Amino acid sequence: MASVLLVEDEALIRMMIADMLLDLGHSVAGEASNLASGLSIARTTAADCAILDVSLGADSSAPIAEILNNRGVPFTFASGYGSDGIPAGFRERPVLRKPFTVEELARCLTILLK
């Protein structure tokens, strides 16, 4: 199964997604709750894919997405607004619309891990 980076600023949502990943047989390679920690794990952590909350408080996760893109790590954005607000240049990426089910997460990971 896959190791997944998880960047989400809401602790309860991050814990819920981590539990979903574990239920699906995946592991969490690293977790971040803000832009600074997200940048750090994106640069240094080996992962098969990543899930990025679009908004991290007042910050955008776009710089994290750029690092992952440059490293060849596939990722999806998670957003309560669907594809609205996805950073320019990344609109072709899959989007998990919050709240999402474990089945929707599984489908998205299948796409990412092709």
d(CA 64, CA 60): 9
Query: Which domains, ranges and CATH numbers included, belong to the chain?
Result: 3-112 (3.40.50.2300)
CA distances from 19 to 4, 22, 103 (A): 12, 5, 13
Contact 54, 60 (CB under 8 A): yes
Residue 9: partners with Cβ closer than 8 Å, 6 or more residues away: 33, 34, 53, 55, 56, 57
Is a pLDDT exceeding 80 seen at residue 107? Answer: yes
Tell me what pLDDT residue 81 has: 80
Residues written for the chain: 114
Predicted confidence (pLDDT) per residue in 60-105, tens digit: 999 999 999 999 999 999 998 877 789 888 999 999 999 999 999 9
